[in-house]
Structure 1
Amino acid sequence: MPTTLSQSDLPGLDLMHRGKVRDVYDLKDGCLLMVASDRLSAFDVVLPKPIPGKGEMLCQISNFWFEKTAHILPNHLTGRAVETVLPEGVDPSLYALRSVITKKLKPLPVEAIARGYLIGSGWKDYQKTGAVSGITLPEGLRQAEQLPAPIFTPSSKAAVGDHDENISFDDVVALIGQDLAERVREATLALYSFARDFAAERGIILADTKFEFGLDEQGTLYVMDEMLTPDSSRYWPADGYQVGTSPPSFDKQFVRDYLETLDWNKTAPGPEVPDDVIERTRAKYAEALDRIAGIRLD
């Protein structure tokens, strides 16, 4: 049965970072312990109630994709067993499915986004300028329409509580250099294209996705953090897709839709979300994990 963990508690381990979802510990041996909690965030605010088992589902779908795409680009996983680093007295069942031991890499300061469909902030930018991240697109495209070819539309990494902003490829070059920028763009589009085709065979459209990359001491490029999860990607059921609308997705859209009905200014503290909205959201994550990876945690 899935476990519920709002916040990790690992006495004796060095907590480096507690993000909106993930807690990261430095193991002091060139590796990190990453724990995916069940914390729920929306509009960059962590909400009071968790989604039971969400961290396990996010971790398992990431691990699935890391394995599937290892032939395209190496990833940060070490394969070491999590229970070997847990402090004495900690219940390993709480962490077994939601944690991984990873290589300690130098993260790149960009969000690497691939878009195959015109939706979200890309659609908003296109409506204003006819372009996304400096890439001019054909006239007359509609919301959620498939692009002629996938595009690389990076964004800046914002501080916690702030929003990422779309930037151009030239901006990426200024941040990390021409050669590395081209490697990141190539890897992003290759990973997206592989996952898009794989998901399509399972009746799912991968509209867009965000990758994180890092370098080791030798300058080798790795994909890291999370990968192709419903939190970092827009997955649409193919049978519900219609151009000109915002299709339903396998993520926390139920939560966002509920929050939009409230008189809330989208700053902390966030409001409590009703149990039925939490359960419907949990079921969407579970459906994505099952349909894409064939994994059931219930």
Structure 2
Amino acid sequence: MTTPEELPGWTHSYSGKVRDLYVPAGGADGRLLVVASDRVSAFDYALQPGIPGKGALLTTLSLWWFDRLAGGDGGTPVPNHLVADAAVPDAVAGRAMVVQALDMLPIECVVRGYLTGSGWAEYEQSRTVCGIPLPEGLHNGDRLPEPIFTPAHKAPMGQHDENITFAQTAELIGAEHAAAVRDLSIDIYRRAAATALERGLILADTKFEFGVAGDGTITLADEVLTADSSRYWDAAAWREGSTPAERMASFDKQIVRDWLAAHWAKTGEPPTLPADIVARTAARYRELIDRLTAAPVPG
């Protein structure tokens, strides 16, 4: 992992797989600085090398979605952790956010509108995803009858997140919070999926993180609806494709996942990513932002 940057007015506090966290140098004041690096992760491992420009691309997309979900899309405003009009150090401008410190809930709130990834693997075995029964006869990449909430328990650094049931979620964070983040996650997914589809994209699945503010408000945090936290597919390819690979033309880090799955047994240190995989992934991240932030596709 790269050495965290020294930033005037901020003290490094923590580094995750892809983000660095800072606190005010003068002492805690309820704010944090979240810096998105160019590091890339897959299967819960940080990989080498990073994706050039990735931190700025993810931050740009998160800020765009935070704005839309705060009422910019006409829906009910979703509280988020951004601190308005806060200055970001010049060294990390464009790839950092000043945010409100929250009591973070120890779960990832995954919503799936389509069957793929670890959900498909479970479905093949049991016709369920995170314990939720699904109809017979579904195929990899199929749209689900309704979006489903399939949470994961956030694991300590270096360990794998674990898919859990809703009942287990309620045990971890309480029944009231579990119901609230489930309903909020599905609502946000539906809104975002509609926005994506207007732009010729399918939001296959995504994950959110929430924290609780000092006044008890459940608040959307971390990144949101980025290429790292979501699967985006080309809608036309999905309609016309006859195989999973054709249907799931991805605008996310699936290129990295697929290469890693083909060249690594998921034991020991992962291999170095080839230059062409890095370049292709960076290009897809940029294309996703261009397509999402452009005007909706007519019809």
TM-score normalized with structure 1 length: 0.89
Quick check: 2:6–2:12 contact (8 Å CA) kept in 1?
A: no
> 1:12: how far off?
6.0
Quick check: 1:6–1:37 contact (8 Å CA) kept in 2?
A: no
Secondary structure of the corresponding residue to residue 29 of structure 1: coil
- Using the alignment, how far apart are the partners of 1:96 and 1:24 within structure 2? 15
Residue type of the alignment partner of 2:146:
A
> 1:294: how far off?
3.5
- Using the alignment, how far apart are the partners of 2:40 and 2:4 within structure 1? 11
> 1:14: how far off?
2.5
- Using the alignment, how far apart are the partners of 1:199 and 1:215 within structure 2? 28
Deviations 1:143-200 (A, max 9, x none): 1111111111111111222222211111111111111111111100000000000000
> 1:239: how far off?
1.6
Match of 2:34 in 1: 34
- Using the alignment, how far apart are the partners of 2:233 and 2:5 within structure 1? 31
How is 1:48-59 mapped onto 2 (pairs within 5 angstroms)? 48-59=48-59
Between 169-178 and 40-49, the greater mean CA deviation after superposition: 40-49
> 1:11: how far off?
5.9
Residue type of the alignment partner of 1:77:
L
- Using the alignment, how far apart are the partners of 1:194 and 1:13 within structure 2? 35
Does the C-alpha gap of structure 1 residues 152 and 244 become closer, same or farther in structure 2, counting only changes over 3 Å? farther
Match of 2:253 in 1: 252
- Using the alignment, how far apart are the partners of 1:12 and 1:292 within structure 2? 34
Is 1:75 the equivalent of 2:44?
no
- Using the alignment, how far apart are the partners of 1:218 and 1:75 within structure 2? 13
Runs (5+) with no aligned partner, structure 2: 71-75
Is 1:110 the equivalent of 2:107?
yes
Residue type of the alignment partner of 1:150:
P
Match of 2:66 in 1: 66
Instruction: Please point out which of 185, 188, 201 is paired with 1:188.
Output: 185
> 1:266: how far off?
3.3
Quick check: 2:44–2:161 contact (8 Å CA) kept in 1?
A: no
Between 39-48 and 8-17, the greater mean CA deviation after superposition: 8-17
Quick check: 1:82–1:95 contact (8 Å CA) kept in 2?
A: no
Aligned pair count? 282
Match of 2:73 in 1: none
Match of 2:290 in 1: 290
Match of 1:281 in 2: 281
> 1:77: how far off?
0.4
Residue type of the alignment partner of 2:272:
E
Match of 2:202 in 1: 205
Runs (5+) with no aligned partner, structure 1: 87-91
Between 157-166 and 201-210, the greater mean CA deviation after superposition: 157-166
Secondary structure of the corresponding residue to residue 16 of structure 1: strand
Secondary structure of the corresponding residue to residue 162 of structure 2: coil
Residue type of the alignment partner of 1:252:
K
Is 1:23 the equivalent of 2:20?
yes
Cα root mean square deviation, aligned: 2.0
Structure number with higher relative contact order (C-alpha < 8 Å, ≥ 6 residues apart): 1
